[in-house]
Structure 1
């Protein structure tokens, strides 16, 4: 009897095991695991801008089909409009929301490191990022190292000297008023006046959060680079000294020039402080000029031509013989959130993009024959819908020029790093932790008191003195002293460091 019962138990056990594991034996074993939707990893990514109809369709279908096959994952994109990207991104990061990967400019790496929003990437990069290492120069990674650890992937590997210190203009409209190029600030002013006389619906606009360095090229004979986008401090590239920009005579010159531009209508005061309205005006083709970014003439051309098929764009530097400086070889940084549940997949996804030219073209341009075509070695877009931002991942190993962009514009861009120098700020990160309370107060005062002066809305003569007193009271001198201390230590370490191999390329 016992033997019969034991036999029945054994048969029952074998039957249960067969049911549980039958999918791994026989014909079922040949089916890939990724056929099971419930086992796919969902990678949650935050991006700036607006999700186009084609991008939404592309992600849900062709892209996720490929990622399912190659990485056993599904991509879930959350787009935040440019106008409030920083605010909503930081809210998500500070509350520990379930996101894995996000983009921001390189200056924010140290900010988010200080706030513990991101995680170190060295082990992930070494294990899953071999194609990133292969196609991105070693010095690009160095700019995102803090405390000996890597905190962001510098995804762009292209020309970068003088970024945000040029001016981009509507070249077709410039020629329409009888001017061939831009050499000086006076040329920009004349361009606006002539075009405004023909058609006052066009406007001249210089970003209020950038553009100081563009004007510095002409307004001073010194070579300066700003520490970051907050425009409080700058470095003298010749002496290597950190200076207080807001206390300089140069700040006064810039503020007074911008105030005159508001009076003349070159800066539209109705657009200042309204990012959404500014973007709407640019999308409507009413932009005469804005701050350049090495390749912005190429990047923004489709937007301009959506409004005006004859639009042409070009970038110029004031005092073009002055050197351009490389402060960050890549201004684009992808960071993995500290709260990420899938950091390995996040790194695998970034690596996948640069794994091959096929992958690179696929995620940026879409499906060949449907979204783009290759003509004489150039990319011809077959849809106006934006897919992945090409500039975030532009890589000289894979770059293909757009068919719609004139050769001289591409030539300008490819030769941009000529007459360039490495900035004294290259590789420096200001650790704000020792003065985090003071810097929070300083930034609050800066936004309230200084930004209206920066924008040209508040008179320098009338409001500057009180603004500076308030800034000092908030702890500005304490922040400045800490910055100078850290920068001195950085320069000492740099001078003592042994020379490194310039590039780690295969």
Structure 2
């Protein structure tokens, strides 16, 4: 039923449109092999990650040897550490540096389009992207369509309901203190207290830059989904109404809970606002729980086991009987900058990844026999160094589970979308252009005044009145009215499409 709902929901049947265009244009397209008419190019790409020796060695040697053969190109890959990724990426985009391809989350596509950082991809996708179209559902492409144009490639095609509303825990440590699962906020608090009493070096935190959605599942009897990364607005899934989150009772309950977690030590004041330090502590195996992402128990296991070979991870939903919502089938977006020198080759490179399972396995896992081996249909990793992040390109047509991941975790992922619902936000993009000046001021105030409250560093009773006054002075009401107006228009269009 879910698949049928998605098909009905899609306004544009992208596969049919683009496949037709692809057939019509491929005859005139240059060859994608090294023996064709393409000149040799160096494709400059930006990716997040803390580069290991094997990551660099693989790109410079085995990967580039294959790319020279197949696409007459080589990859100049710049890794930016996660803690600095957004800042340095946006600096490169805003100054027009000559990069050809980069990754970021779907919520950033609309803003980067509005700022002129990226270019539309319709023609490139139609000519060079036949394998992308074949292996990524049309509904996923719809996520990155704005004003009738395609602005990014939604590279992941896997289960996605409830993404970023689950909590990821160290399952081995949970069991070591006599607990088996997490269902409530009280369970999380008990887990921390038991571990802290045994060894104070461990800490538990829920990321303060996101994760409110996890708590909403329990602290409200209603169902809400966050509009975007800015955390200003949410939708009431029961009524379809866009709500002003920062002025809601839901916001008050969320931040007061986090305030109590600071007092208990669950949120470590020394780590708040210091992403690099938090990542270092997680990499050292000292993290008890964090925001989940449907498949983060698999994605983060390799890192966790570097610090502790016995580490096991699992994701849970608070109030597990409440529904999960699909807001975006893929949160992963590959974009081509407006200033790119080699946009055609960038699209060919992305298409090459999904052209065959061989290519997919190669760029994600490396060289069989050196970086991995197959064991009864599963991947056995022979190195702890990740190459291309598997989750960025996870595809149901090619997915192979690692041997180190519990079968229960694999089942959690594969069955995650069972009985899920489509979010009222599905397919909605907030066009920031009409209020871009006000929004810039609002976000500056939000960072200064609201983030300390969100983090639990400033008490709600102490800081909220001043914060909301400053936010309104910056133009918040105008931004909210514009967002609500656009959302209401979107909902009317959706209703008309279903009649």
Distance 1:455 1:380 in 2: 39
Deviation at 1:34, TM superposition (A): 5.1
How do residues 252-267 of structure 1 correspond to structure 2 at under 5 angstroms? 252-267=252-267
1:131 maps to: 131
Can you list the C-alpha shifts for 1:160-194, whole angstroms capped at 9, x where unaligned? 00000011111111111101111100000000000
Superposition CA RMSD, Å? 1.4
1:403 maps to: 403
Can you list the C-alpha shifts for 1:250-273, whole angstroms capped at 9, x where unaligned? 100010000010011000010001
Deviation at 1:229, TM superposition (A): 1.5
SS at match of 1:190: helix
SS at match of 2:234: strand
Deviation at 1:419, TM superposition (A): 2.5
How do residues 122-271 of structure 1 correspond to structure 2 at under 5 angstroms? 122-271=122-271
> Is this contact kept in 1: 2:34–2:71, CA < 8 A?
no
Distance 1:468 1:419 in 2: 38
Deviation at 1:135, TM superposition (A): 0.3
> Is this contact kept in 1: 2:205–2:287, CA < 8 A?
yes
SS at match of 1:107: helix
Distance 1:79 1:46 in 2: 6
Deviation at 1:454, TM superposition (A): 0.4
Distance 1:493 1:183 in 2: 38
2:440 maps to: 440
Distance 1:449 1:498 in 2: 42
Question: How has the CA–CA distance of structure 1 residues 238 and 304 changed in structure 2, closer, same or farther, with 3 Å as cutoff?
Answer: same
Distance 2:302 2:387 in 1: 13
2:12 maps to: none
Unpaired segments of 5 or more residues in structure 2?
1-31
1:6 maps to: none
> Is this contact kept in 1: 2:380–2:404, CA < 8 A?
yes
Residue 51 (structure 1) aligned with residue 51 (structure 2): yes
Pair member with larger Rg: 1
Question: How has the CA–CA distance of structure 1 residues 375 and 131 changed in structure 2, closer, same or farther, with 3 Å as cutoff?
Answer: same
Residue 427 (structure 1) aligned with residue 441 (structure 2): no
1:97 maps to: 97
Count of residue correspondences: 467
Which runs of 4 or more aligned residues in structure 1 lie more than 6 Å from their structure 2 counterparts after TM superposition?
none
1:274 maps to: 274
Residue 315 (structure 1) aligned with residue 322 (structure 2): no
Distance 1:34 1:391 in 2: 29
Residue 84 (structure 1) aligned with residue 84 (structure 2): yes
SS at match of 2:350: helix
SS at match of 2:42: strand
Distance 2:221 2:172 in 1: 31
Deviation at 1:40, TM superposition (A): 1.7
How do residues 423-502 of structure 1 correspond to structure 2 at under 5 angstroms? 423-497=423-497
Distance 1:288 1:492 in 2: 44
Can you list the C-alpha shifts for 1:225-269, whole angstroms capped at 9, x where unaligned? 000122100001111110000000010001000001001100001
1:298 maps to: 298
Question: How has the CA–CA distance of structure 1 residues 369 and 33 changed in structure 2, closer, same or farther, with 3 Å as cutoff?
Answer: closer
Range moving further from structure 2, 352-361 or 222-231: 222-231
Deviation at 1:221, TM superposition (A): 0.5
Distance 1:497 1:254 in 2: 36
Distance 2:117 2:496 in 1: 32
Distance 2:131 2:357 in 1: 11
Deviation at 1:300, TM superposition (A): 0.6
Distance 2:160 2:332 in 1: 11
Deviation at 1:494, TM superposition (A): 1.8
Distance 1:52 1:193 in 2: 35
Distance 1:229 1:120 in 2: 22
Distance 1:442 1:64 in 2: 45
Distance 1:243 1:215 in 2: 17
Distance 1:34 1:47 in 2: 25
Deviation at 1:492, TM superposition (A): 1.6
Deviation at 1:302, TM superposition (A): 0.9
Residue 361 (structure 1) aligned with residue 361 (structure 2): yes
Can you list the C-alpha shifts for 1:16-50, whole angstroms capped at 9, x where unaligned? xxxxxxxxxxxxxxxx99599x9521111100112
SS at match of 1:74: strand
Deviation at 1:498, TM superposition (A): 6.2
2:6 maps to: none
Unpaired segments of 5 or more residues in structure 1?
1-31, 500-506
Deviation at 1:497, TM superposition (A): 2.7
